[in-house]
Amino acid sequence: MKSSLQLVASMLALQARRIADASASRVLDDARQRLLAIAALHEQVEKCRDAEHIDLGLFLRGLSAALAVNKPDNVSNIAVAVDPVPIQASPMVAMKFGLLVCELAASAFQHAYPPAGRGEVRVGLERTGEGCRLTVQADGTGLAAGLDSAADGGFGRLMLQSALVQLAATMTTTTGAASALVIDVPSLGVAADT
């Protein structure tokens, strides 16, 4: 599955380079980035498909490392900081967290830094009572604004909203010298395993 997704992503990259219309080329490149992110997510899920519970911290570290391979040049690094206490979840909950990280990382890649800017994307995970908090942060100020500009119902925004509903989670944004997207999941038992 992963190699098939990577092949389709390569074909999209070839097509994007051949198109003169910059807007159409960007759409194809966004689709390519999303396919590569889903391939990385699929690879992480496959590594632990027989597990009853998955350590979300280890899962997100592996996913972030895979996403870093395809990061744009103006993103210097993807750093991951997780709670030292393991946060266990079912494979389906881990998959939903993975989708959130992929979409938030894609938003960070696209909007956090201007083309001439450069910086790091940070992913954090910490326990909060029965649930946890997932944070994606960048030093650039465009991260939250980029997500807000997708409020018109872009595909990534729809995927993000779907995962938030399934996890009964809320998302807040912060702006300033650094911008962050913060997702609070009240209980890891809330998400349905479907």
pLDDT digits (tens, 9 = 90+) for 77-122: 677 777 667 888 888 888 888 888 888 877 777 776 666 667 778 8
pLDDT band, residue 49 (cuts 50/70/90)? low
pLDDT for 146 beyond 80: no
- For 74-104, b/e burial (b = at least 16 CB within 10 A) is ebeebebebeeeebebbbebbbbbbbbbbbb
Inter-helix orientation angle 91-111/155-166, to 10°:
150
pLDDT for 149 beyond 60: no
Q: What is the pLDDT of residues 163-192, one digit of tens each?
A: 899 999 999 887 776 778 899 999 886 343
Mean pLDDT over all residues of the chain? 75
Fill in the amino acid letter for 178: A
The continuous run of DSSP H or E covering 170 comes out as strand 170-174
pLDDT band, residue 151 (cuts 50/70/90)? very low
3-state secondary structure 84-124: CCCCEECHHHHHHHHHHHHHHHHHHHHHCCCCCCCEEEEEE
What span, in angstroms and rounded, lies between the C-alpha atoms of 97 and 175? Answer: 23
Mean pLDDT of 34-52: 68
CA 133 to chain centre: 14
Report the predicted TM-score, pTM, of the whole model to 2 decimal places.
0.72
Q: Which range is most confident: 43-52, 134-143, 163-172? A: 163-172
Residue 106: what pLDDT?
75
Mean pLDDT of 31-60: 73
Residue 194: what pLDDT?
39
Mean pLDDT of 117-138: 84
Residue 169: what pLDDT?
93
Q: How many residues does the chain have?
A: 194
pLDDT for 17 beyond 50: yes
What DSSP designation does 50 have? Answer: T
Percent of the chain whose pLDDT exceeds 90: 7
